[in-house]
Amino acid sequence: MLTETDNYDDLYRNFRWDVPARFNIAEDCCDRHADGSGKLALIDVDESGQAKQLSFDDMRDWSSRFANVLKSDGLQRGDRVAVFLSQSIELPVAHLAAFRSGLVSVPLFTLFGEDALEFRLSNSNAKAVITDEGGWHKLSKIRDRLPHLQDIYVTNGAIHAGAKSFWEAIEDASDRFTNVDTAADDPAIIIYTSGTTGNPKGALHAHRVLLGHLPNIEMAHDFFPKPGDVFWTPADWAWIGGLFDALFPAWYHGVPIVGYRAKKFDPQAAMQLMADQKIRNVFLPPTALKLMRQANVKHDGVRLRSIFTGGESLGPELLDWVRATFGVSAHEIYGQTECNLSVGNNSNLFPIRPGSMGKATPGFDVRIVSEQGEELPRGQTGIVGVRAPNPCMMLEYWKNPDATAKKYANGFLLTGDLGMQDEDGYFWYVSREDDVITSAGYRIGPSEIEHTLLKHPAVAMAAVVGIPDPIRTEAVKAWIVLRPGFTGSDALAKEIQDYVKVQLAAHEYPRHVQFTETLPMTATGKVLRRELRTLG
């Protein structure tokens, strides 16, 4: 999409969207590269370091077969299919099968517990789930509360009653499938994002969302792709960052991506992986970079061409360390699930200013606006707004017209982030407009955690906030009022933490628990989280 240049102003001014009326992610990310030549698509690396290479031909074959499986099992255009897997061979096969079938895929994070899964599967009315043995055990506990769920396909382990073998089903199916003719604006995927009030909201995106990501990917990765490029990110493929900042843009351009299922990010193992697999392009969240710096990682075999990062400001010291360690600059980007990659950096187009999110991505009209969507003067703090329409922008919040309407004002999508644009066009992040917590690259809504905490028999009231953390940016802290008969202790705090890990999600549990007699509230009974944040 972008023409290589060293002049940002020309790049931005001359850019024009070219979104075709008919577009399908599976066709452009897989089928057009599956020419029978065995072109490399995925390098799947296991925990022992053994690598298996898969081609675009493999991906087309397996996803076509699985599309036939879904069709024979009664799924129809527009039905939802949940993908409850980590980085793996099966994950893209499942998504591609859904896309080519005109179905809507729903990525689910493998760390989700029963509450998080039940809400998303119920809200989306998913008819099928693809998961592994671990996911099956979680789903089996809530399946009787999911009347719309027809089939669970398990990728490994024993096949239990009420489940189907993913690979056996594929082996028995035809590899011939005629893709559904989808418009660029047809629904493709629902990605759930946490808010501060109520349940998570499902951002429904069209097939065109992939095209909307390309200008920033190409800019921030220094005019990606180039010969020899190989992509990797430790970011999970259950979020918009893993799927549309890495996997599908790489495949759109026919660039292989490395899949690596690490239980926990290990800085030295990451360096070894990048050296062994000759990785050239990475999306490394700031927390990963901080951990690598803390471990003082070094490896002569690492030869990166581009580093893409986002979620929080790196700061001058970390930026300098990245350049000294890898020989290239870390290019920070900005975006959110509802409209991603709207701002970014490229040190060859304009100087990086530490702390800045960069400049507007070509094709994105980004302004600082008021709550009414009125543009504010340069240098003034306001809401980061992106002018609609834009290919990267969601169609709507799934089943939530009120929240959808509140997301827009005067032709702008309101991100909910407060920022400032300086006289030279650089955007600067100030804070969230709401109470969303940014922790280790995840945006976490406090209300979902509070809802789960209240299910614990010891908890009468709970409030959750983010407090400063040197590695994660923020850590989740829960303030808890106990029911009569319970006494606060380290043992009870751990019990409550473990409860949230199991019921909700391992990445959302409160790392800090403080018991209190009362919570600060408004006259109408709303918890004043801002007062709790000042207490730390």
Per-residue pLDDT tens over the stretch 290-304? 999 999 999 999 999
Please state the φ and ψ torsions of residue 169, each to the nearest 5 degrees: -65, -40
CA-to-CA distance for 257 and 437, rounded, in angstroms?
A: 30
pLDDT above 80: residue 380: yes
pLDDT above 90: residue 456: yes
Q: Which two tokens stand for residue 328?
A: 């290239």
> What pLDDT score does 525 carry?
62
CA-to-CA distance for 432 and 421, rounded, in angstroms?
A: 16
Q: Are 324 and 299 within 8 A, CB to CB?
A: no
> What pLDDT score does 55 carry?
98
CA-to-CA distance for 102 and 70, rounded, in angstroms?
A: 11
> What pLDDT score does 445 carry?
84
> What pLDDT score does 195 carry?
63
CATH of 437-535, one of 3.40.630.40, 3.30.360.10, 3.30.300.30, 2.60.120.380: 3.30.300.30
Q: Are 163 and 83 within 8 A, CB to CB?
A: no
Please state the φ and ψ torsions of residue 43, each to the nearest 5 degrees: -110, 105
Pair type for strands 80-84 and 339-344: unpaired
Domain ranges within the chain, ordered by starting residue: 437-535
pLDDT above 80: residue 526: no
* pTM (two decimals): 0.90
pLDDT above 80: residue 468: yes
> What pLDDT score does 119 carry?
96
Q: In the structure, what pLDDT confidence band is assigned to residue 37 with cuts at 50, 70 and 90?
A: very high
pLDDT above 70: residue 249: yes
Q: Residue 218: which residues within 8 A CB-CB, separation 6 or more? A: 1, 2, 224
> What pLDDT score does 196 carry?
57
Across the range 236-248, mean pLDDT stands at 96
Q: Are 294 and 265 within 8 A, CB to CB?
A: no
CA-to-CA distance for 194 and 233, rounded, in angstroms?
A: 22
| 512: enclosing H helix or E strand | strand 512-515
Across the range 467-488, mean pLDDT stands at 93
CA-to-CA distance for 196 and 416, rounded, in angstroms?
A: 11
Question: pLDDT for 67-120, tens place per residue?
Answer: 999 999 999 999 999 999 999 999 999 999 999 999 999 999 999 999 999 999
> What pLDDT score does 476 carry?
96
Label each residue of 192-256 as H, E or C. EECCCCCCCEEEEEECCHHHHHHHHHHHHCCCCCCCCCCEECCCCCCCHHHHHHHHHHHHHCCCC
Q: Residue 92: which residues within 8 A CB-CB, separation 6 or more? A: 42, 59, 63, 237, 247, 251
> What pLDDT score does 459 carry?
94
Pair type for strands 437-439 and 442-444: antiparallel
Q: What mean pLDDT, rounded, does the chain reach?
A: 95
